[in-house]
Structure 1
Amino acid sequence: MSFAPFDWIDDEARRRAGAGLVRSLRPRPAETGPLDLASNDYLGLTRHPRVTEAAAEAARRWGAGSTGSRLVTGSTALHAELESELARFCGFEAALVFSSGYAANLAALTALTGPGALIVSDAGNHASIVDGCRLSRAGTAVVPHADPDAVRKALDGHPGRALAVTDSVFSVDGDAAPLTALAGACRETGAALLVDDAHGLGVLGEGGRGALAAAGLAGADDVVATVTLSKSLGSQGGAVLGPARVIDHLVNTARTFIFDTGLAPAAAGAALAGLRLLRDEPHRADRARAVAAELYERLTRAGLTAVRPDAAVVSVRAPSAHQAVTWAADCRAAGLAVGCFRPPSVPDGVSRLRLTARADLTARQITTAVATVVDTAPRAAG
Structure 2
Amino acid sequence: MLHNFQEALDKRKETGTLRILKPRSEGTDFYSNDYLGLARNKELQQILLEKIIANPQVLSGSTGSRLISGNSCEVIETESFIAQEHQYPAALLFSSGYNANLALFSTLPTRHDTIIVDEKIHRSVHDACKMSHAKKLKFKHNDIEDLEQVLKKQNGNCYVTIESLYSMDGDVAPIQEIIEIVEKYKGSLIVDEAHAFGVFGYGFVDKHQLQNRVLATVITYGKALGAHGAAILCEDVVRSYLINFASPFIYTTSAQNVQWMTIKTSYEFLKSHENFSTQLQENITIFRNQGLKTPSAENSPIQALVIPDNQKLKAVQQNLSDNGFLTYAVFSPTVKEGTERLRICLHSFNTEEEIIQLTKIIKEFT
Q: Cα RMSD over matched residues?
A: 2.0
The correspondence of residues 148-167 of structure 1 with structure 2, limited to 5 A, is 148-156=144-152, 158-167=154-163
For 1:338 and 1:346, the matched residues in 2 are separated by 16
Contact 2:294–2:303 under 8 Å retained in 1: no
Find the counterpart in structure 2 of residue 355 from structure 1: 344
- The answer to whether structure 1 residue 134 and structure 2 residue 130 are counterparts is yes
Structure 1 vs Structure 2: percent identity of aligned residues? Answer: 26
Aligned residue identity for 2:66: R
- The answer to whether structure 1 residue 28 and structure 2 residue 8 are counterparts is no
Between 113-122 and 270-279, the greater mean CA deviation after superposition = 270-279
Contact 1:92–1:241 under 8 Å retained in 2: yes
Find the counterpart in structure 1 of residue 33 from structure 2: 40
Q: CA deviation at 1:97?
A: 0.7
Find the counterpart in structure 2 of residue 254 from structure 1: 246
Deviation string 1:197-252 (CA, Å, 9 cap, x unpaired) is 00110012xxx1101122331x2154311121100110111111111221121111
Secondary structure of 1:140 counterpart? strand
Find the counterpart in structure 1 of residue 235 from structure 2: 243
Contact 1:299–1:374 under 8 Å retained in 2: no
Between 358-367 and 97-106, the greater mean CA deviation after superposition = 358-367
Contact 1:122–1:166 under 8 Å retained in 2: yes
The correspondence of residues 328-347 of structure 1 with structure 2, limited to 5 A, is 328-347=317-336
Contact 2:308–2:338 under 8 Å retained in 1: no
Aligned residue identity for 1:79: V
For 2:252 and 2:261, the matched residues in 1 are separated by 19
Find the counterpart in structure 2 of residue 202 from structure 1: 198
Q: CA deviation at 1:16?
A: 1.2
Find the counterpart in structure 2 of residue 269 from structure 1: 261
- The answer to whether structure 1 residue 101 and structure 2 residue 94 are counterparts is no
Aligned residue identity for 1:275: Y
- The answer to whether structure 1 residue 188 and structure 2 residue 184 are counterparts is yes
For 1:180 and 1:342, the matched residues in 2 are separated by 32
Deviation string 1:259-298 (CA, Å, 9 cap, x unpaired) is 1122232222222222112211223223323322321221
The match for 1:49 among 42, 50, 60 is 42
Find the counterpart in structure 2 of residue 77 from structure 1: 73
Find the counterpart in structure 2 of residue 15 from structure 1: 11
Consecutive unaligned residues of structure 2, counting only runs of 5 or more, are none
For 2:60 and 2:43, the matched residues in 1 are separated by 18
Q: CA deviation at 1:299?
A: 4.6
- Gap change, CA 1:137 and 1:203, over 3 Å in 2: same
Secondary structure of 2:39 counterpart? coil
For 1:64 and 1:38, the matched residues in 2 are separated by 32
TM-score, with normalisation over the residues of structure 1? 0.89
Contact 1:83–1:97 under 8 Å retained in 2: yes
Contact 2:164–2:204 under 8 Å retained in 1: yes
Find the counterpart in structure 2 of residue 211 from structure 1: 204
The match for 2:116 among 120, 127, 134 is 120
Aligned residue identity for 1:37: F
For 2:361 and 2:87, the matched residues in 1 are separated by 40
Aligned residue identity for 1:71: L
For 2:159 and 2:224, the matched residues in 1 are separated by 27
Secondary structure of 2:327 counterpart? strand
For 1:149 and 1:363, the matched residues in 2 are separated by 40
For 2:62 and 2:248, the matched residues in 1 are separated by 15
TM-score, with normalisation over the residues of structure 2? 0.92
Find the counterpart in structure 1 of residue 57 from structure 2: 61
Q: CA deviation at 1:258?
A: 0.8
Q: CA deviation at 1:50?
A: 4.5
Q: CA deviation at 1:54?
A: 5.3
Contact 1:149–1:185 under 8 Å retained in 2: no
Contact 1:97–1:240 under 8 Å retained in 2: yes
Consecutive unaligned residues of structure 1, counting only runs of 5 or more, are none
Find the counterpart in structure 1 of residue 305 from structure 2: 316
Q: CA deviation at 1:310?
A: 4.3
Contact 1:169–1:310 under 8 Å retained in 2: no
For 1:329 and 1:76, the matched residues in 2 are separated by 47
- Gap change, CA 1:290 and 1:325, over 3 Å in 2: same
- The answer to whether structure 1 residue 295 and structure 2 residue 308 are counterparts is no
Secondary structure of 1:66 counterpart? coil
Question: How many residue pairs are counted as aligned between the two chains?
Answer: 363
Q: CA deviation at 1:78?
A: 2.4
- The answer to whether structure 1 residue 226 and structure 2 residue 218 are counterparts is yes
Deviation string 1:104-135 (CA, Å, 9 cap, x unpaired) is 01111122111101100010111011111221
Secondary structure of 2:173 counterpart? coil
Find the counterpart in structure 2 of residue 367 from structure 1: 356
Deviation string 1:278-336 (CA, Å, 9 cap, x unpaired) is 21122322332332232122152xxx556344421111122412322332222122111
- Gap change, CA 1:264 and 1:292, over 3 Å in 2: farther
Contact 1:102–1:128 under 8 Å retained in 2: yes
Q: CA deviation at 1:79?
A: 1.7
